[in-house]
Structure 1
Amino acid sequence: MALSIDDADAALYTIGQVAEMLGVQPAFLRRLDAHGIVVPARSAGGQRRYSRREIDRVAEVMDLVAEGVTLAGVRRVLTLRERVGILEEDLAAARAAAAPPEERSRADGHPVERPGAASG
Structure 2
Amino acid sequence: MFGDDDYPAYTMGRAAEITGASQDFLRRLDEAKLITPFRSAGGHRRYSRYQLRLAARAREMVDQGIPLEAACRIIILEDQLEEALRHNENHQRSQETGPI
| Common fold by TM > 0.5 | yes
Aligned AA (1:81): E
Distance 1:88 1:8 in 2: 20
Structure 1, unpaired ranges of 5+: 98-103, 107-120
Whole-Å Cα distance in 1 between the matches of residues 16 and 86 of structure 2? 34
- In the alignment, is residue 37 of structure 1 matched against residue 34 of structure 2? yes
TM-score (norm 2): 0.80
**Distance in 1, Cα, partners of 2:6 & 2:87:** 24
Q: Percent identity?
A: 33
The counterpart of 2:17, out of the listed 10, 20, 25, is 20
Q: Across the two proteins, how many residue pairs are aligned to each other?
A: 98
Which protein shows a greater Rg?
Answer: 1
Structure-1-length-normalised TM-score? 0.69
Structure possessing the higher relative contact order (Cα contacts under 8 Å, 6 or more residues apart): 2
CA RMSD of aligned residues (A): 2.3
1:56 partner amino acid: R
Runs of 5+ in structure 2 lacking a partner?
A: none
